[in-house]
Structure 1
Amino acid sequence: MSASISVERSCTKQNLLKRSLESRGECPAKRKASWGILTSQGSWADRSPLHEAASQGRLLSLKTLIAQGYNVDALTIDQVTPLHEACLGDHVGCARVLLEAGANVNATTIDGMTPLFNACSRGSASCVELLLEYGAKAQWETCLPSPTHEAASRGHSDCLELLISWGIDVDQDIPHLGTPLYVACVSQQKQCVRKLLYSGANVQKGKFLETPLHVAARQSSTEIINMLLDFGADINAKNTEFQRPVDVASPRSLVESILLLQEATPCSLCQLCRLHIRNYIGRSRLHLVPQLQLPTILKDFLLYR
Structure 2
Amino acid sequence: GSWADRSPLHEAASQGRLLSLKTLLSQGYNVDTLTLDQVTPLHEACLGDHAGCARILLEAGANVNATTIDGVTPLFNACSRGSAACAELLLAHGAKAQWETCLPSPTHEAASRGHSECLEVLISWGIDVDQDLPHLGTPLYVACVSQQIHCIRKLLYAGANVQKGKYLETPLHAAAQHSSAEIVNLLLEFGADINAKNTDFKRPVDLAAPSSSVERLLLLHE
TM-score grouping bracket, smaller chain normalisation: over 0.9
1:146 to 97, 105, 130: 105
Q: CA deviation at 1:119?
A: 0.3
Query: Runs of 5+ in structure 1 lacking a partner?
Result: 1-10, 16-45, 264-305
Partner letter of residue 107 of structure 2?
T
Output aligned runs, 1:1-305, within 5 Å: 46-263=5-222
Q: 1: CA distance between counterparts of 2:178 and 2:28?
A: 53
Q: 2: CA distance between counterparts of 1:164 and 1:143?
A: 20
Rg comparison, structure with higher value: 1
Q: CA deviation at 1:220?
A: 2.0
Q: Deviations over 1:139-185 (max 9, x none)?
A: 11111000000000000100000100101000000111110000000
Q: CA deviation at 1:222?
A: 0.4
Q: 2: CA distance between counterparts of 1:202 and 1:104?
A: 34
Q: CA deviation at 1:216?
A: 0.3
Q: 1: CA distance between counterparts of 2:85 and 2:205?
A: 41
Aligned to 1:6: none
Q: CA deviation at 1:219?
A: 1.0
> RCO (CA 8 Å, sep 6+): is it higher in 1 or 2?
2
RMSD: 1.0
Partner letter of residue 146 of structure 2?
S
Partner letter of residue 89 of structure 1?
G
Q: 2: CA distance between counterparts of 1:129 and 1:105?
A: 12
Q: 1: CA distance between counterparts of 2:212 and 2:56?
A: 54
Percent of counterpart pairs with the same letter?
83
Moved over 3 A (4+): none
Partner letter of residue 126 of structure 1?
A
Question: Given the two structures, how large is their TM-score scaled by the length of structure 1?
Answer: 0.71
Partner letter of residue 180 of structure 1?
P
Q: 2: CA distance between counterparts of 1:243 and 1:207?
A: 14
Number of residue pairs the alignment of both structures matches: 220
Q: CA deviation at 1:82?
A: 0.2
Q: 1: CA distance between counterparts of 2:211 and 2:27?
A: 68
Q: 1: CA distance between counterparts of 2:31 and 2:8?
A: 10
